[in-house]
Amino acid sequence: MKKALSIAALAMLAVISANAQSETKVPSALDITLLREQVVKAVDKYEPLLKRVPYFDLEQKDRQVKEVGELRTYLEKIGAEPQAFNGILGFVFLETLHDVEDFAESCAQNSLAGRDPGLANACQDAAVIDGQCH
């Protein structure tokens, strides 16, 4: 009987432990607000750089300007309702942020190739924000 109770207790402990590990913790409103503030600062630094980068074709540059505009729209929505980040808005926001970061990385590489280290460093600074979001 004692052995059966021990086995039952271990089984229950295993189930409780498995459930605790499988629960997903969503970001708090404070975490989301801090993330939003970081991204706003990065976008504020990055957006003016788009005017300085002469190495991209017009279509690519237009797409990037559009994506930065979309990112600002998502930032406004998240600012108004931080918990909306925990739904589809957060997914779309992170995907757009990733695209902007890829472009910033490309900006940095092209600026180095064009021998403009100041622009390359500025673009690289803007490119690192996505890594802080995951």
Domain that holds residue 92: 29-133
| Assigned domain for 52 exists | yes
In degrees and rounded to multiples of 5, residue 28 shows phi and psi of -75, 165
Kindly report, residue by residue over 94-127, the tens digit of the pLDDT. Answer: 999 888 888 888 888 877 777 788 888 888 777 7
Q: What is the pLDDT, as a whole number, of residue 21?
A: 53
pLDDT averaged over 10-residue windows placed end to end, the chain, 134 residues: 41 50 78 90 85 72 87 94 93 90 81 78 73 50
Which two structure tokens, joined as six digits, stand for 71? 């990112």
Q: What is the pLDDT, as a whole number, of residue 134?
A: 47
Q: What is the CATH number of the domain that holds 96?
A: 1.20.120
| Assigned domain for 46 exists | yes
